[in-house]
Structure 1
Amino acid sequence: MSSPKTVRWGILATGGIASTFTKDLLCDPTTRGVKHLKHTVVAAASSSSESRAKEFLKEVGAPSDAKAYGSYDAFVKNPDIDIVYIATPHSHHYQNAMLCLEASKNVLCEKAFTVNAAQARKLAEVAKSKKLFLMEAVWTRYFPLSVYVREQITSGRIGPITRVISDNSMALDPEKSFPDGKHRMVNPDLAGGALLDLGIYALTWVFQTMYHTQPEDSRQPPKLQAFVKNYEPTGQADEQSTMILQFPRSQEQGGDAHAVATTSLRVATAPGGNMNQPFVRIQGPKGEIQVFGHAFRPLSTKIIDQGGKVESKDFPIPGPGKGSGWYNGFGGSLQSEGEGHGMFWEADEAADAIINGRKEGRYLGLDESILIMEVMDEVRKQGGLKYPEKIETLDYPTQL
């Protein structure tokens, strides 16, 4: 057997999601059955200081020779970086990704990909012109659970998908949680609001089940009706958004299909952390697929056939295991000892693409990322939600 190939990562930004991703990234791939590749971190950059980047590298357990930078411009010039993971707020993705692409770096960019579809199209155009890999980091798509759900759909197990109902909401009590209005969840300057941060996951489940499972040569963009409730304390950020989508399909494919995707900062999908209700229901004439956990980190499924028979399946997330002393998590909470957060699967996909010369992700290509950004553009248009021009612009470089 040939030795695993090592992909060298640079981490751009040093916040919470960067820490979670990098800890997962450095978890031995064989613990999840991946034997043909390995990951290492060769550099990290903080916009605040080089010392913060050094602290980050130490916190995540990066190799001792990894380089720390207090400047993104200097960071992207590092010749040892094979791919950059971008973990800045949505508002900065376009500028940061363009910096990396212009420096001929492959890119895995956090969701939401950009602030608008025009920015996403421009990044895709530059990546293709430079023959670089570019992928939106919608980690949920790469979970074995998500792969399984899509397989159940394409096998025809519940018949042609007729309806999907999907929610990703959190009762964040925004006035108390973010009293100064500067937090990324509510700050318009950071493309704040429920839609781009939480709603992207509700849409992810709609698209990966109802759109991605259709033949590429015949699937069509959905029609959309949207409603947006503004978050009054900061003005242009949505507190709650509701999307009704109609996906055109031929009669042979079951005819038009409907979906409802909802998101909120005010109420929760699972009040009090009660996870015994599905956040997504995927319905067809032969039954229903329900998914449990969080929309971003699904853990189990139930398939209920038309006679009422229930098949339950758990999808535990691997890692070094109990007794390892290793922990990961996000937002102040940790998973059980030795249990990964689940971000390593998207990293594996990106690394596999680098090794094999692919320029896009298999489960979320650039065209689909752009289409989802177009849907969110239309949600904002129908809801009268605009962000500052400096974060909507295609001009590069723009100082933010």
Structure 2
Amino acid sequence: MSTPKTIRWGILATGGIAQTFTKDLLVDPTTRGVKHIKHTVVAAASSSSKSRAEQFLKDTGSPSDAKAYGSYEELVKDGNIDVIYIATPHSHHYQNAMLCLDAGKNVLCEKAFTVNAAQTRALADKAKEKNLFLMEAVWTRYFPLSIYVRGLITSGRIGPVGRVFADNSIAMNPEESFSDGKHRMVNPDLAGGALLDLGIYSLTWVFQTLYHTQPKDTRQPPKVVAALKSYGPTQAADETTTMVLSFPRSAEAGGEAHAIATTSLRVATLYHEDGEVPGIRIQGPKGEIQVFPPAFRPTHTRLVMKDGTIEDKHWPQPGPGKGSNFKNGFGGAQNPEGEGHGMFWEADEAATAIVEGRKEGKYEGLAESILIMEVMDEVRKQGGLVYPEKIETTKYPTQL
């Protein structure tokens, strides 16, 4: 058996999502049946201080010889890094990713990829110019659960998909939770609002079921009609957004297909441990596939067939297991001991692509990332949502 290839990661930013990703990254891949690659962290950078980066490396259990940097400019100059994971707010992704690509570094960048499609196109062009790997870190696409759902569709089990409902929302009081208006969820300087932060997952489910499953040479962009409710205190972020998408298809492929994608800060598809309310429903003439919340990290699917057949599947996240003292989670919530969060799947894909010499992800290429950004551009246009020029611009470098 060949020796697994070790991919050396640099972590750009040290917030909550970076901690979750890095802890998952350092879990032994064989615990999820992956044997051809391994991961290690060789450096991390905080824009605030070197000491914060040092603490981050300790908190995540990174190797003791990993380097800590107090600026992103220092990080991208580290010659030991194979790929950089970008974990800043999406308002900063374009500038940060361009910095990395300009320095010759492969990039895995958190979602939403950028603030607009022009920025994503510019990054894709830069990656092509530099012959580098670039991928949007839409982790949900790489779950075995998602691969299973797409397989059900392409196998024809429910017939051609005719309609998809997808919601990813949070039921909260934003005026209380984000009272100072500075939080990334509502702050226009951070491209705040439901669409880019939450709605990307609703669109992920729509696209990976109604677009990605179609043959590359025949699939077409959807038409979009959207309604956007502004967040009152700022009037510069969306509180609730609803999108209706129609995907053209040939009559032989089932004809035009429809999707409704929803997202909100205030109202949501609520879920409990029994998971009885599906947040995603993928419907065909022979049956439907239900995916239970949360949309970004689902662990339960149900296939309901027209003939009465019901197939429930549960998809627990792998990890070191009970007794390992390994704990991970996000946003203050902890997973059971020994259970990973699920971010290692996208890391495995990025590492595999780099080993194989591929320049983009297998389950969402750059063209599809750009198309989804174009859809969100159109949604914002219809809703009149514009962010400050400094975070919409493609000019690099721009001081944020």
Smaller-chain TM-score range? over 0.9
CA–CA separation in structure 1 for the residues paired with 2:300 and 2:198: 20
1:20-39 aligned within 5 A: 20-39=20-39
Tell me what 1:75 maps to. 75
Q: Which amino acid aligns with 2:362?
A: R
Asked whether the equivalents of residues 271 and 277 of structure 2 are also in contact (C-alpha less than 8 Å), the reply is: no
- For the residue of structure 1 that corresponds to 2:107, the secondary structure is strand
CA–CA separation in structure 1 for the residues paired with 2:267 and 2:285: 31
CA–CA separation in structure 2 for the residues paired with 1:321 and 1:267: 35
Q: Which amino acid aligns with 1:231?
A: Y
Tell me what 2:251 maps to. 251
Tell me what 1:111 maps to. 111
Tell me what 1:276 maps to. 276
User: CA 1:396/1:385 → structure 2, altered by over 3 Å: closer, same or farther?
Assistant: same
Residue 307 (structure 1) shift? 1.9
Tell me what 1:379 maps to. 379
- For the residue of structure 2 that corresponds to 1:228, the secondary structure is strand
1:309-320 aligned within 5 A: 309-320=309-320
Tell me what 2:19 maps to. 19
Tell me what 2:154 maps to. 154
- For the residue of structure 1 that corresponds to 2:42, the secondary structure is strand
Question: How far does the alpha carbon of each residue in 1:251-286 deviate from its partner, in whole angstroms, 9 at most, with x for none?
Answer: 000000000000000012216777321110000000
Tell me what 1:164 maps to. 164
CA–CA separation in structure 2 for the residues paired with 1:279 and 1:67: 42
CA–CA separation in structure 2 for the residues paired with 1:30 and 1:276: 32
Asked whether the equivalents of residues 194 and 238 of structure 2 are also in contact (C-alpha less than 8 Å), the reply is: yes
Tell me what 2:100 maps to. 100
Asked whether the equivalents of residues 275 and 300 of structure 2 are also in contact (C-alpha less than 8 Å), the reply is: no
Tell me what 2:288 maps to. 288
CA–CA separation in structure 2 for the residues paired with 1:135 and 1:357: 13
Q: Which amino acid aligns with 2:209?
A: T
Asked whether the equivalents of residues 224 and 243 of structure 2 are also in contact (C-alpha less than 8 Å), the reply is: yes
1:66-215 aligned within 5 A: 66-215=66-215
User: CA 1:273/1:181 → structure 2, altered by over 3 Å: closer, same or farther?
Assistant: farther
CA–CA separation in structure 1 for the residues paired with 2:293 and 2:130: 39
Q: May I ask how many residue pairs the two structures share in their alignment?
A: 400
Matched, 1:359 2:359: yes
Tell me what 2:340 maps to. 340
Decide which moves more: 228-237 or 106-115: 228-237
CA–CA separation in structure 2 for the residues paired with 1:316 and 1:366: 29
TM norm structure 1 = 0.99
CA–CA separation in structure 1 for the residues paired with 2:126 and 2:326: 39
Tell me what 2:266 maps to. 266
1:294-309 aligned within 5 A: 294-309=294-309
- For the residue of structure 1 that corresponds to 2:299, the secondary structure is strand
Decide which moves more: 272-281 or 317-326: 272-281
- For the residue of structure 1 that corresponds to 2:225, the secondary structure is strand
Residue 308 (structure 1) shift? 2.3
CA–CA separation in structure 2 for the residues paired with 1:73 and 1:386: 29
Asked whether the equivalents of residues 91 and 114 of structure 2 are also in contact (C-alpha less than 8 Å), the reply is: yes
CA–CA separation in structure 2 for the residues paired with 1:392 and 1:320: 42
Tell me what 1:226 maps to. 226
Question: How far does the alpha carbon of each residue in 1:68-88 deviate from its partner, in whole angstroms, 9 at most, with x for none?
Answer: 001111110000000000000
- For the residue of structure 2 that corresponds to 1:293, the secondary structure is coil
Asked whether the equivalents of residues 89 and 190 of structure 2 are also in contact (C-alpha less than 8 Å), the reply is: yes
Question: How far does the alpha carbon of each residue in 1:83-138 deviate from its partner, in whole angstroms, 9 at most, with x for none?
Answer: 00000001000000000000000000000000000000000000011110000000
- For the residue of structure 1 that corresponds to 2:269, the secondary structure is coil
Q: Which amino acid aligns with 1:16?
A: G
TM norm structure 2 = 0.99
- For the residue of structure 1 that corresponds to 2:159, the secondary structure is coil
Asked whether the equivalents of residues 12 and 87 of structure 2 are also in contact (C-alpha less than 8 Å), the reply is: yes
User: CA 1:72/1:147 → structure 2, altered by over 3 Å: closer, same or farther?
Assistant: same
Matched, 1:395 2:395: yes
CA–CA separation in structure 2 for the residues paired with 1:10 and 1:380: 33
Structure 1 vs Structure 2: percent identity of aligned residues? Answer: 75
CA–CA separation in structure 2 for the residues paired with 1:287 and 1:294: 22
CA–CA separation in structure 2 for the residues paired with 1:178 and 1:274: 30
CA–CA separation in structure 2 for the residues paired with 1:93 and 1:86: 7
Tell me what 1:60 maps to. 60
Asked whether the equivalents of residues 165 and 280 of structure 2 are also in contact (C-alpha less than 8 Å), the reply is: yes
Decide which moves more: 91-100 or 308-317: 308-317
CA–CA separation in structure 1 for the residues paired with 2:271 and 2:281: 18
CA–CA separation in structure 2 for the residues paired with 1:227 and 1:272: 29
Decide which moves more: 163-172 or 300-309: 300-309
Gaps of 5+ in 2: none
Residue 293 (structure 1) shift? 3.0
Asked whether the equivalents of residues 161 and 257 of structure 2 are also in contact (C-alpha less than 8 Å), the reply is: yes
CA–CA separation in structure 1 for the residues paired with 2:294 and 2:394: 33
Residue 172 (structure 1) shift? 2.4
Question: How far does the alpha carbon of each residue in 1:46-78 deviate from its partner, in whole angstroms, 9 at most, with x for none?
Answer: 010000000000000000000000111111000
- For the residue of structure 1 that corresponds to 2:386, the secondary structure is coil
CA–CA separation in structure 2 for the residues paired with 1:43 and 1:271: 38
CA–CA separation in structure 1 for the residues paired with 2:26 and 2:51: 21
Question: How far does the alpha carbon of each residue in 1:12-60 deviate from its partner, in whole angstroms, 9 at most, with x for none?
Answer: 0000000000000000000000001100000000010000000000000
User: CA 1:135/1:203 → structure 2, altered by over 3 Å: closer, same or farther?
Assistant: same
